[in-house]
Amino acid sequence: MRITFHTMAEVQAKILILPIFENSEINAYTAKLNANCNNLLTTAMGSSNNFKGQKGQFLDVYLPSEINGVERIILLGMGMRTDFDLARARDIGGKLALQCNNNKIEKAAVIIENLELENISDSEVAINIAFGAKLRNYGFYKYYAIKQEEHQLYLKSLSFGLAHDATNVQDTFLSRFEKIADAVHLSRNLTSEPPNVLTPKAFADIALELQQYGVKVTILSESEMKSLGMHALLGVAQGSINAPYIAIMEWKGNTNNNEFSTAFVGKGVTFDTGGINLKPTSGISDMKTDMTGAAVVTSLIKALATRKAKVNVIGAIGLVENMPSGSAQRPSDVVRTMSGQTVEVDNTDAEGRLVLADVLWYVQTQYRPNIVIDLATLTGAISVALGDITAGLFSNSDTLALQLSKASEKSGEKIWRLPMGKEYDKQIDSDIADIKNVGSGRGAGSITAAQFLKRFIHDNVAWAHLDIAGVSWVKNSSDLSPKGATGFGVRLLEQFIWDYVEKN
C-alpha cells in the first residue's frame, strides 16, 4: 500500500475520510465541506442512531453529486479528545484499513486539520494513523489457488491532507515507520510459512537476502557447529533429515565505532514435534510457529538496515527442526554445550533453550556485546500466565528491563517482567550433569526456562529474555493484525534501539 502526505489543497480523492471526535464540533474543513453539500454531513450524523464519533466508528455519506471531485465521505470516529494518544491513532489506522478493505475501497484520503490535541501534533497523528493502517493492511494469501479473489487486499493508496507543508512528515514516515511496517510483515510472512517450505536451510537462505541492504551474513554449517562444540543445538537437530544452521547477521551503521553494542538472538525451530516426548495432536500444527523468535530478529535487522540506523548490532538465529526418529535425542541423554557446561535432557520438548544456549554463548564469545536480548516461543506456561496480550520479560539488569518496559509503552507491544532468583535454580539442578533442561514439577515453568538461559550469559552482560509464546500467533484479529502471526517484537525492539542505543 502506498502512503503519501500532502497539504490539504493538494489532496485529490473521490473518497474523503474525515476524523470526528466524540461529542465535539466538526472542524473548519468539515464544516466548509458540509456547507457545500447542503449540510448533508450533519444531517447524516443527526439521523444516525449509532454514529457518535466513538473510537473506530464509521459513517458513510454518499454525495448526490460530485463536489470538488469528491463522491463519498466517510466520517471516522476518534473517541474522546481528552483520552486520545498515539496508540489510539495507530489502532484507528488499523480499523480504517480494515474498513476500506471490507468495502473494497482502493484509494482514499484522510484530512487531518487542527485537531487541537494537547502535546500531540497533527503530524504525529497522521503518521501514526498511517502506521496503523500499514500494519493492518496485511494478509498471507500466497497459497490460495482457487480462492484468490475471496482473499485479497483492496486498499492500494492512502493519502493524508495536512494544514501545513507535509514534506517532513512524508520523509519521517518513509525513512522510519514504513520500514518498520515492512519488517513486521516480513516477520508475519516467515511465521506463516508451512514447515515443508521454511526448512532450516530455506530460512538461512532468507537471512542471506539481507546482504542486499548492507548486512553482513555468515551461515554456520553443521560441521562448523561440531567444531565449536555446540552439542546442545546439534542434539535437538539430530532426529531430522534437515540439517541445522546458524545465521549471523551483522549491521554496522555506526561508522565511528567498530564494536557491536547489542545482540539479538532468536529461537528458530522451524517445526517442533516435541521429539521423543511427542506433542499431542491438539495444537501440534501450530508448531510451525516455533521459529518466531528467529523471524522477529531477522526482520528487526532488516528494519535497522533499511532505515540506516546508526548502530552496530548483531542478529543471530539458531535454525533446527525437532523431529522423532531412530537418530533422535532421547530423554536422559547428556550433552555438552559450547560453554563447556553439561545438560541432562530431561524432556526433548524443552528444546528451544538448548538451541539458544549455544547461540547465546557463541554471540557473546565472538562479538562481546554489552547487551544481549533473546526472543523465543519458549514455554506454554507463559501463555497460561499472560495470555495472548502480553509477553514475558526476564532480565538480570534492572536498567535494561526498565528501558524495554518504556519501549513497550511507546510501541504498544506489551511486556511484563517476571521474577528470577537462585531459589528457582534448584529446580533445574541435575543429579548427573551440571544442569537439566526442565524444572522439577509443574510450577514456574517460564521462570525455570529463563534461569536455564541465564546460565549461558556472561557475568558482565546485560541480558533480557522475551518469552513470546503467547503473543506471536493469535486466534483472533486485533486492530493492527489479522489472526495468525503478529510479528510481535519488531516494533518493541526497534523502539528500544531508537530510544536507548541509537541516541547514545
Residue of 363, 391, 399, 390 lying closest to 375 (CA atoms):
391
Residue 122, pLDDT above cutoff 90: yes
DSSP 279: P
Looking at the DSSP bridge assignments, the partners of residue 336 are: 342
**Is the CB of residue 282 less than 8 Å from the CB of residue 353?**
no
DSSP 227: H
- Residues 66, 93, 1, 158: is their CA dihedral positive or negative? positive
Residues in the chain: 504
Share of the chain above pLDDT 70, in %: 100
Mean per-residue pLDDT over the chain, rounded? 96
pLDDT of 24 reads 83
pLDDT of 50 reads 81
Other beta carbons within 10 Å of 269: 30
DSSP line for 101-123: HHTT--EEEEEE----BTTB-HH
Other beta carbons within 10 Å of 219: 15
- Lookup: cell for 49: 442512531
C-alpha torsion 489→483→80→164, nearest 10: 70
pLDDT tens for each residue of 272-288: 999 999 999 999 999 99
Residue 251, pLDDT above cutoff 90: yes
Distances (CA, A) of 125 to 129, 180, 359: 6, 17, 41
- Lookup: cell for 235: 542434539
pLDDT of 25 reads 82
Distance between CA 332 and CA 326 in Å, rounded? 16
Residue 46, pLDDT above cutoff 90: no
pLDDT of 64 reads 86
Distance between CA 356 and CA 350 in Å, rounded? 11
Residue 106, pLDDT above cutoff 90: yes
**Is the CB of residue 357 less than 8 Å from the CB of residue 232?**
yes
**CA atoms within a 13 Å half-sphere pointing along the CA-CB vector of 6:** 15
- Lookup: cell for 21: 471526535
Distance between CA 180 and CA 177 in Å, rounded? 5
- Lookup: cell for 181: 511496517
Distance between CA 381 and CA 249 in Å, rounded? 30
Looking at the DSSP bridge assignments, the partners of residue 227 are: none
Looking at the DSSP bridge assignments, the partners of residue 316 are: 248, 265
Domains of the chain from N-terminus onward: 2-165 (3.40.220.10), 217-501 (3.40.630.10)
Beta-sheet strands, E only, within 378-458: 391-395, 415-417, 435-436
Residue 14, pLDDT above cutoff 90: yes
Q: What is the mean pLDDT of residues 312-326?
A: 98
Q: Exposure pattern of 85-121 as b/e (b: 16+ CB <10 Å)?
A: ebbbbbbbbbbbbbbbbeeebebbbbbbbebebeeee
Burial of residue 18 (number of CB atoms within 10 Å: 0-12, 13-18, 19+): buried
- Confidence label for 148 from pLDDT (cuts 50, 70 and 90): confident
What order do you get walking across the sheet with 216-220 strand by strand?
216-220, 245-252, 312-322, 262-272, 371-376, 462-467, 391-395, 415-417
Query: What type of residue sits at position 27?
Result: N
H helix runs in 209-351, sequence order: 222-228, 231-237, 292-306
- Confidence label for 238 from pLDDT (cuts 50, 70 and 90): very high
- Lookup: cell for 77: 470516529
pLDDT tens for each residue of 292-309: 999 999 999 999 999 999
Residue 48, pLDDT above cutoff 80: no
- Rounded to 5, what percent of the chain is helix, strand, coil? 40, 20, 40
pLDDT of 27 reads 85
What are the backbone angles phi and psi of residue 112, rounded to the nearest 5°?
Answer: -115, 105
Q: Is 175 helix (H, G, I), strand (E, B) or coil?
A: helix
DSSP 160: E
- Confidence label for 345 from pLDDT (cuts 50, 70 and 90): very high
Q: What is the mean pLDDT of residues 29-53?
A: 87
pLDDT of 316 reads 99
What order do you get walking across the sheet with 342-345 strand by strand?
333-336, 342-345, 435-436
pLDDT of 65 reads 84
pLDDT of 29 reads 86
- Confidence label for 117 from pLDDT (cuts 50, 70 and 90): very high
**Is the CB of residue 254 less than 8 Å from the CB of residue 307?**
no
- Lookup: cell for 445: 515453568
Residue 423, pLDDT above cutoff 80: yes
Lowest mean pLDDT among 41-45, 216-220, 235-239, 297-301: 41-45
Residue of 151, 3, 105 lying closest to 483 (CA atoms):
151
Instruction: Give the containing element (helix H, strand E) for 409.
Output: helix 398-411
C-alpha torsion 32→37→39→40, nearest 10: -130
Residues involved in catalysis: 279, 353
Q: What is the mean pLDDT of residues 376-396?
A: 97
- Confidence label for 465 from pLDDT (cuts 50, 70 and 90): very high
Distance between CA 88 and CA 91 in Å, rounded? 5
pLDDT of 298 reads 99
Q: What is the mean pLDDT of residues 343-357?
A: 98
Residue 68, pLDDT above cutoff 90: no
DSSP 439: -
pLDDT tens for each residue of 153-208: 999 999 999 999 999 999 999 999 999 999 999 999 999 999 999 999 999 999 99
Residue of 365, 381, 210 lying closest to 299 (CA atoms):
210
Q: What is the mean pLDDT of residues 230-247?
A: 98
